[in-house]
Amino acid sequence: MGKPFLPQLVYIEPRALDYPLGRQLKEKFQQMGVELRETTSHNQVRNLPGENHFQKYRMAKSTLVVGVRQTLKFDTSKPSAEYAIPLATGCMGHCHYCYLQTTMGSKPYIRTYVNTEEIFAAAAAYMSERAPEFTRFEASCTSDIVGVDHLTHALKQAIEYFGRSEFGQLRFVTKFAHVDHLLDAEHKGRTRFRFSINDDYIIKYFEPGTSRLAERLEAAVKVAEADYPLGFIVAPIYLHEGWKEGYRELFERLEATLPAHAKRNVTIEMIQHRFTLPAKRVIEKNYPMTKLELDETKRKWKWGRYGIGKYIYQDEEQEEMKTTLGGYIKRYLPEAHIEYFT
């Protein structure tokens, strides 16, 4: 299995040491011999090593900042949940198409927040506003939280927190297979553990630095055996030569790998590839050799959040994706629940 993430460099905000998790992490990284530096704010990490943009960007992706989350107002997170719960920001993966490329802008380093109790208290306030309706929280809006959680266990704390809560549910998605420490968490069925999956071509060419499909599926089986509700996000659905065959193989592998009980309660979300022009510029800068096709003249333009237009597939292509993948789901995972295609 690919190795779990180990940062090359760790920055700590002095205020983080007021929290038990901040102190534990400092000690842990000291013992591991990782270089530690101080930063006044997790939003202002400067002087990352590297002689040019390319080197600095790669260094940032292996840098972890241990900080205190100050904004405790949660973003909304449609369509998969009501709110985004901020446990971490940034990711060590190098997926060429990743939307964090643009949202992280000049701060591609990974931030983890140690004031988990304050974050949970904010979640409790959101839950009580909606009670007795359940409130769903998405933990992977701004990071691949599982990829860093073997070091911090903040996600594990959150899983157990929502397990104890009266009206809360947690969900997150990952491309990493390092799930062992989460298997004994007392989730009480309140956390939906999702894996982001794709066909071989896409994982091979566009998702460096993440666990391979076989590893993700092996982890999904462990998660199902630990009785977590399981889900998959097929994203981004990307048209390339042989895509129909590639996705057929993907669903065939799911059918062959998953235990019967997991197939009955599994959810599937489908997200087609999209990009904005600012994202295109950043991708071309960070991954200049990418094979990712970003030709806006072939796509359909759609209004996006914050007024930035995004390029999605043409209507007929979207229909073809929906019927092709929908057909495979019906054939290979007939009891799966399709949550949405977007």
C-alpha separations of 109 from 44, 82, 120 in Å: 11, 26, 24
Residue 211 CB coordination number (10 Å): 25
C-beta of 95 vs 234, nearer to ligand SF4: 95
Alpha carbons 112 and 195: distance in angstroms, whole number:
21
Structure tokens at 55: 């080197």
- Does residue 100 interact with ligand SF4 by CB under 6 A? yes
Q: Is 182 helix (H, G, I), strand (E, B) or coil?
A: helix
C-beta of 39 vs 174, nearer to ligand SF4: 174
C-beta of 98 vs 159, nearer to ligand SF4: 98
Residues 181-220 close enough to bind ligand SF4 by CB under 6 A:
210
Query: Contact at 8 Å (CB) between 268 and 231?
Result: yes
Give the type of residue at 318: Q
CB of 139 to ligand SF4, least distance (A): 12
Closest by CA to 242, choosing from 283, 205, 280, is 205
- Does residue 91 interact with ligand SF4 by CB under 6 A? yes
- Does residue 268 interact with ligand SF4 by CB under 6 A? no
C-beta of 104 vs 329, nearer to ligand SF4: 104
Q: Is 91 helix (H, G, I), strand (E, B) or coil?
A: coil
Q: Which stretch binds ligand SF4 (CB under 6 A): 39-47, 87-95, 109-117, 126-134?
A: 87-95
Q: Which of 144, 149, 160, 269 binds ligand SF4 (CB under 6 A)?
A: 144
Q: Which stretch binds ligand SF4 (CB under 6 A): 7-15, 89-97, 108-116, 124-132?
A: 89-97
- Does residue 112 interact with ligand SF4 by CB under 6 A? no
Alpha carbons 16 and 31: distance in angstroms, whole number:
18
- Does residue 273 interact with ligand SF4 by CB under 6 A? no
Q: How deeply is 186 buried, as exposed, middle or buried, from its count of CB atoms within 10 A (0-12, 13-18, 19+)?
A: exposed
Give the type of residue at 93: G
Q: Which of 93, 108, 168, 229 binds ligand SF4 (CB under 6 A)?
A: 93
CB of 259 to ligand SF4, least distance (A): 25
Q: Which of 48, 95, 202, 292 binds ligand SF4 (CB under 6 A)?
A: 95
CB of 31 to ligand SF4, least distance (A): 27
CB of 91 to ligand SF4, least distance (A): 3
Q: Which of 12, 98, 139, 177 binds ligand SF4 (CB under 6 A)?
A: 98
> What is the full DSSP assignment across 255-284?
HHHS-HHHHHH-EEEEEE--B-HHHHHHHH
Tell whether omega for the bond before 79 is within 30 degrees of 0, i.e. cis.
yes
Question: What is the sign of the dihedral through the CA atoms of 31, 37, 43 and 45?
Answer: negative
C-beta of 127 vs 279, nearer to ligand SF4: 279
| CA-based radius of gyration for the chain | 20
Residues that bind ligand SF4 (CB under 6 A): 91, 93, 95, 98, 100, 144, 175, 210
